[in-house]
C-alpha cells in the first residue's frame, strides 16, 4: 500500500510540473510513464483517465494553496502584509520557472473536462473570497484604500497577478512580475497619515 501511495504521489508531482510548464494539453500519459519509468498500465491503475488525474491535481494544489492562505491568516498580520504574502505565493512559483497551476488550466478552460472546469472556478472563487476578507480588514483598519466593492478589487488582484505571471513568462525576467505586483499592491495602500489622521479617498 505504501508503495502504491508513493507511486501515485510521484505521478501527481510529475503531472503537476508538466501542467505548470507545458499546460494540461501539452503532455500525455506516455510522457509521465517515460519520466517515471513505469508502465502506462500502472498510471491507469492510479488514475483511470487523464481527467481523473487532472481533478486530483487541482484538488491537491488547491488544498496546498488554501492551507498557505490559512497560515497567513493565522499570523494575524495587517492587511498589506497579507496581500504581500499572497503575491509571494505566485512569485515563488515563478522563481521555479512554473506558472500557477490553475492559471495555466484557465488558459485551456474550453478544452478541459467539465469537472476540471468546475474545480478551476472553485479555486479562483476561494481566492477572491479570501482577498475580499483581507481587503475589508484593510478598509476597517485604514491600511488599504480602494473604491467600490471589495469583491471587485479582489478580482482585480487575482487577474493582475495571474496576468503578470503570464506576460513575464516569454521574457524570462522575474523582475517584471515583481515590479507589476509591487505596483498593484502599492495602489491599494492607504494614504499616509496627514495632520493626525488618515486621508480617505473621495
Residue 193's pLDDT is 52
Q: Domain boundaries in the chain?
A: 58-191
- Residue 144 backbone phi and psi in degrees, to 5: -130, 150
Superfamily of domain 58-191: Tetracycline Repressor, domain 2 (1.10.357.10)
143 vs 125: CA distance, rounded Å? 24
| pLDDT of 5 | 73
pTM above 0.85, yes or no: yes
- C-beta atoms surrounding 107 within 10 Å: 15
Nearest by Cα to 153 from 109, 104, 111, 188: 188
Q: What are the tens digits of pLDDT across the range 143-168?
A: 999 999 999 999 999 999 999 999 99
Supply the pLDDT for residue 190: 74
Nearest in space to 87 (alpha carbons), one of 183, 17, 161, 179: 161
Give dist(CA 117, CA 155) in Å, integer.
18
Closest among 167, 62, 70 to 105, alpha carbons compared: 62
- Sign of the CA dihedral 44, 46, 52, 54? negative
Contact between residue 127 and residue 157 where contact means Cβ atoms under 8 Å apart: no
Amino acid at each position: 500500500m505504501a508503495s502504491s501511495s508513493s507511486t501515485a504521489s510521484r505521478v501527481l508531482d510529475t503531472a503537476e510540473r508538466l501542467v505548470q510548464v507545458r499546460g494540461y494539453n501539452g503532455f500525455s500519459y506516455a510522457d509521465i510513464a517515460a519520466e517515471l519509468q513505469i508502465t502506462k498500465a500502472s498510471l491507469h491503475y492510479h488514475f483511470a483517465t487523464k481527467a481523473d488525474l487532472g481533478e486530483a491535481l487541482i484538488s491537491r494544489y488547491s488544498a496546498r494553496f488554501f492551507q498557505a492562505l490559512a497560515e497567513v491568516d493565522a499570523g494575524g498580520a495587517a492587511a498589506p502584509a497579507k496581500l504581500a504574502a499572497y503575491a509571494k505565493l505566485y512569485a515563488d512559483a515563478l522563481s521555479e520557472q512554473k506558472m500557477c497551476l490553475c492559471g495555466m488550466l484557465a488558459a485551456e478552460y474550453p478544452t478541459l473536462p467539465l469537472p476540471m472546469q468546475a474545480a478551476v472556478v472553485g479555486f479562483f472563487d476561494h481566492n477572491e473570497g479570501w482577498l475580499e476578507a483581507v481587503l475589508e480588514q484593510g478598509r476597517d483598519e485604514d491600511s488599504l484604500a480602494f473604491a467600490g466593492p471589495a469583491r471587485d478589487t479582489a478580482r482585480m488582484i487575482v487577474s493582475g497577478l495571474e496576468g503578470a505571471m503570464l506576460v513575464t513568462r516569454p521574457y524570462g525576467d522575474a523582475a517584471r512580475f515583481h515590479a507589476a505586483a509591487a505596483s498593484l499592491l502599492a495602489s491599494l495602500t492607504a494614504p499616509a497619515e496627514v495632520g493626525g489622521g488618515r486621508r480617505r479617498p473621495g
